[in-house]
Amino acid sequence: MARKTKEEAEETRRFLMKTALKLFSEQGIQNTTLAVVAKEAGVTRGAIYWHFKDKADMLLALWESIFSPLELAYEKHMDGFTGDPLDILEEIAASFFQLACSSPDILQMLKITRQSWSDPILSEHCRKMCSDEVKSIQVIMEKAENAGCLREDLSAKAAAFSFYGYLEGVINSWLSTGGGDWLLTEAEGMARVMIQGLRKSNS
């Protein structure tokens, strides 16, 4: 019986997160309280506070559940790749664009993340997340630099910021203009253009 209760509690938590993901992305972080999430999910406010301390706690749980598996998949791919480091980043960029179009959960989370920068509670988490991602990209850029693939007039750090800024800029512009399937079909070409700008001309 105890195991069943634990499983039911986990199922309730997943349902609450799915409900919150939809509401946060459609109605906005500021306009969506935990009480609103509880009502939409058909549970009491006490039930939702049993699973989450506050709204920030729920949002962090959403980030963890949606973005962490994606990051782990990238890390696994990078660890097993022995070729050109810039080819890794080209594939990551293309995959990111494709997933933004094809995964409803990731698309909704990207919409929420855009709002989070202006939220006083969540902005610090956004800054840390951005910093961590740039550092991870810089590690690959340093490998590209050591392999003689990266253009000589650009440091690994500057290349990392350029790559991250390109991805963020494309996604933000795409979301701001209403999205669309074109990003899915153009993903590989856009990723290739970015990497060509970072690559040493004779590599």
Tell me the pLDDT band of 1, cut-offs 50, 70 and 90. very low
Query: What CATH superfamily classification does 55-198 receive?
Result: Tetracycline Repressor, domain 2 (1.10.357.10)
Which residues fall within 8 angstroms of residue 121, CB to CB, at 6 or more apart?
55, 56
Domain boundary assignment for the chain? 1-52, 55-198
Give the CATH superfamily of 1-52.
Homeodomain-like (1.10.10.60)
**Predicted TM-score (pTM) of this structure:** 0.79
Sign of the Cα torsion 73, 107, 122, 29 reads: negative
Residue 25's pLDDT is what?
A: 87
- pLDDT per residue as tens digits for the range 166-186: 999 999 999 889 888 899 999
CA distance 95 to 92: 5
Output 126 or 54, whichever has higher pLDDT. Answer: 54
CA atoms in the 13 A half-sphere facing the CB of 50: 12
Angle between helices 123-146 and 156-176 (to 10 degrees): 130
